[in-house]
Amino acid sequence: MKITFAPTVPAGAKLIAHVCDADSLPQGLEPVLAAAARASRFGGKVGQMFEGFAERGGQVVRVALAGAGAPGADRATALEKAGAGLTAKYLTSGETVLALDLSSAGLSAAEAAAVLLGARLRGWRLDTYRTRLKDEQKPSLAEIVVVGATDGAEALWESESAVAEGVEFARELVTEPANVIYPESFVARCETRFAGTGVELRVLDEEQMTALGMGALLGVAQGSARPPRLLAMVWRGAKESQGGEGAFTAFVGKGVTFDTGGISIKPAAGMEDMKWDMGGAGAVAGTMLALARRGAKANVVGVVGLVENMPDGKAQRPGDVVTTMSGQTVEVINTDAEGRLVLCDVLTWVQREFKPAAIVDLATLTGAIIISLGHEHAGMFANDDELAAALDAAGKVSGDKLWRFPLGPAYDKLIDSPIADIKNVGPRYGGSITAAQFLQRFVEKGTPWAHLDIAGTVWTDKPGATWDKGASGFGVRLLDRYLRDRSEG
């Protein structure tokens, strides 16, 4: 959606919207509209909407009011909901332009940007394969013209729009079907989107990964006709004062572009959802695009392991033992616990290649995390309290909320194998924790690391604050905020 700024409401505007705090109405609102708003019990509560009609300049115009509630600690979230509410209401209304009049709203530049971020994110949808939509079902709203914004709002929006683009890219990758997005095409899509951004792409193919000894990742991929890939996206946005490169922060994503479960095959019902088992990789790619678009002053590498987990005659079997790039051996008890096998080799590779100052991995790793947290939080596991606190704070600000889980020797013992160094699953209980314990065995001592299990948050069956049903883009805003606070603050 296009967002522009103008000094006055464009002549001929047919839809004019205002953002209202609790128990307030815009200055100069026609008495009949003010009376109608009060009669309809519009009080400016968060998410509350009102629509009326008035004659202005010889034509009838729609006037919309979006409630933002009382100013408080969750101000940005409330303003995002107000902007998103306007988009949700008018996206398929037949209107093509919405004039957002902020002249009497009293919003700061950051607050205005929050409204616009919510409005843009709520307007994203992928209709590529919907060929029989009726006209009234097709999006019509194409532009928001912002009037009366505070000085600095337009410049700030340039940065926030970069984040919006990253979220949208993550949603795009997650939403595309598995016959469109698979390891090779994921790389190709990134090559197109990152062209001209300054992000360096490095790609490892199956032969190169074999030479490096990535037996765990390759074991997952061996049952598929689609060859695996490792994609690294490198952004160098900061330098040390002495002229050398600053330390890298590493973001690592699970990229299982479709997960049947392999030989430990999943039930048929709901298996179509497993196209989004690459949600961690999508979030990392979206974050890297956002960082590049806004020119983040940080050195970051995003690495994703891309495989398809299929059950053909070449697929690995329960009971197989694979050797990881780190040299540790893994007894594969369950081939549906494949994400950790992909991530362990990617973690080893990024540590050897970049020696990052901190690592955050994102993965749709376990169904157990959904049992624990539902769809409201992602699970967080960390070996470093400072990193965990920084991510938790970033989650609260960004809206990508986290909840920390424990790690410890008692859980670690549950994944000891009698014939190998480690087995890829533990007992039924504590499944998300033992999965994190598995990954921790591949993190070098002294490296701050956090694992985010995002299985319950990358996809939703109902609309949310700033998204429709489907891919949420979870993780992009979280990682962007973390970097702003830690590396760029």
**Active site (catalytic) residues:** 266, 340
Contact 247, 357 (CB under 8 A): yes
Give the residue carrying structure tokens 């949208």: 168
Give the Cα separation of 397 and 265 in Å (integer).
39
End-to-end CA distance of the chain: 30
Give the Cα separation of 6 and 340 in Å (integer).
50
> For residue 483, what are the contacts with CB-CB under 8 A and spacing of at least 6?
249, 291, 296, 298, 300
- CA nearest neighbour of 341 among 354, 353, 329, 351: 329
Give the residue carrying structure tokens 């991510």: 391
In degrees and rounded to multiples of 5, residue 358 shows phi and psi of: -160, 150
Task: Calculate Rg over the CA atoms of the chain.
Answer: 24
